[in-house]
Chains A and B, each alone.
Chain A
């Protein structure tokens, strides 16, 4: 039976699919791949259904030893090598389908100016989902692998290779952009210095994970005298903490939150923002 064994953990490696929808009223996060465009790319190339589970990593992928023959495809901004059992090294690039042989090890170079990478497989995952989703939600401990990121020595069992043809896919421009479009958030009117939110630049910090990302930028003040009652969250909601810090909520966001939200990132710019590398500077614009 084919499979993959983690020789190194990589960074924040999880399995992700379209997400765990329809159960948010029970307090369960939507989760799902941060960059669904790239999940669709690998699955199209492998001839999978678009939302077939994929491995997602941040900054650098895990070294994976292949058990049996494994057909896979990567997407993102990085290169990798297939280190053959006989000592040869085959270099690999994204957006191409490869088949690694029993004992080969796939090793990754870091993402270049980019954050999330994806590895898709032309195999079924022989694991059971939670609430119909294979997405790993570490905050809520849901999904495969007991809801935890993968570690060295973990093994994922795969079904036999599915021989399906590549489908057309839309190639994605992965260069970081300088502007991110937003719409007004529910507490828009409560913020005093809204113009700073647009006139001044923000940049990406290292304080980020699949739940949210803290941005460096102007302190935004509000005129609210009391704590808010918690209200529902949507991905891309931009909340401002009591000390004026800007936090963008990502796919593993809690279903409710009590901080005021100044804006929401437009759907088409969500992945662009989430993929921005450390220190990248940009401006928000109102759509």
Chain B
């Protein structure tokens, strides 16, 4: 399934898994990711959608050994599908900062847009940008591209939606994703043994809650 392994700086590799972004491809990447992390000298890995970056310490392992090890990993045909997590979202316009824009772009009412967002489990591809910030997809409808001018501050818990993909701001941060709603759930807690709530390969099933339920959550 790996289509190419490219040098990415002196101590990194970029493994490409083709142009398709699907849960099946991502499951394969996560499998390779877990295998290659076992190799001595690997400093870190970053799996994303259809790519895997591997960064290593050249004083501990040679570039060629890392490449050979990656290429020799046999990816099983049937990888187990992950757990489903039920996550509450308040879609009130107070939190859904870009809901109007998104629904106009899709051509549905706000109610229909929101319903489509929680209509099916979304696949959790991986983390990026901020600690524990999940990247998931694929939504039924296509939301607009990123904001041309990113917000200087997006509140913690905000859920982003760009094209067919989603993201959750795990802390208050600048950000360019369209915001569809807010969850009272903490996706990342550094004090926990497993700091991330959802593992890549798992599924997220959103369900709607009211403003009152949101504020009463904790």
Contact = CB atoms under 8 A, between A and B. Distances in A.
Contacts of B186: none
Interface stretch (B42-50, B66-74, B103-111): B42-50
A30 B9 CA distance: 16
A28 B53 contact: no
B14 to A, nearest CB: 5
A27 B132 CA distance: 6
Contacts of A235: 9
A30 B11 contact: no
A231 B14 contact: yes
Contact of B131 (A28, A227, A268): A28
B101 interface: no
Contacts of A26: 127, 131-132, 195-196
A256 interface: yes
Contact of B130 (A23, A25, A27): A27
A231 B48 contact: yes
Contacts of A124: none
Given A227-B145, A231-B53, A267-B10, A21 B127 contact: no
B215 interface: no
A140 B130 contact: yes
B135 A236 contact: no
Interface string A258-270: 0000001111100
B157 interface: no
A262 to B, nearest CB: 12
Contact of B46 (A130, A131, A183, A232): A232
A249 B55 CA distance: 15
A130 B51 CA distance: 28
B146 to A, nearest CB: 7
Interface string B185-202: 000101000011000100
B127 A234 contact: no
Interface residues of B, number: 42
What's the dominant secondary structure at chain A's contact region? loop
Given A25-B126, A183-B10, A267-B9, A231 B51 contact: yes
B9 A256 contact: no
Given A227-B146, A234-B53, A24 B45 contact: yes
Contact of B9 (A24, A130, A227, A265): A265
Nearest to B145: A227
Contacts of A184: 7
Given A229-B49, A232-B51, A256 B129 contact: yes
B133 interface: yes
Contacts of B43: 21-22, 30
A230 B171 contact: no
Nearest to A24: B44
Contact of B48 (A30, A140, A230, A267): A230
B147 interface: no
A234 B128 contact: no
Contacts of B130: 27, 140, 254
B11 A232 contact: no
Nearest to B55: A234
Interface string B122-141: 00001111111101000000
B6 interface: yes
Contact of A264 (B8, B128, B132, B133): B8
A287 B111 CA distance: 56
Contacts of A21: 43-44
A26 B46 CA distance: 8
A247 to B, nearest CB: 15
A230 B49 contact: yes
Contacts of A100: none
B99 to A, nearest CB: 21
B44 A186 contact: no
B21 interface: yes
6 closest A-B pairs by beta carbon, nearest first, are A232-B53, A232-B46, A256-B128, A264-B9, A27-B127, A24-B44
Given A21-B43, A24-B46, A255-B127, 13 more contacts: A22-B44, A24-B44, A25-B45, A25-B127, A26-B196, A27-B129, A30-B55, A231-B14, A233-B46, A234-B55, A237-B9, A266-B10, A267-B58
6 contacts: A24-B44, A26-B131, A185-B8, A234-B53, A254-B128, A266-B10
Interface of A: 21-28, 30, 130-131, 140-142, 183-186, 227, 229-237, 254-257, 264-268
Interface of B: 6-12, 14, 21, 33, 37, 43-53, 55, 58, 126-133, 135, 145-146, 170-171, 188, 190, 195-196, 200
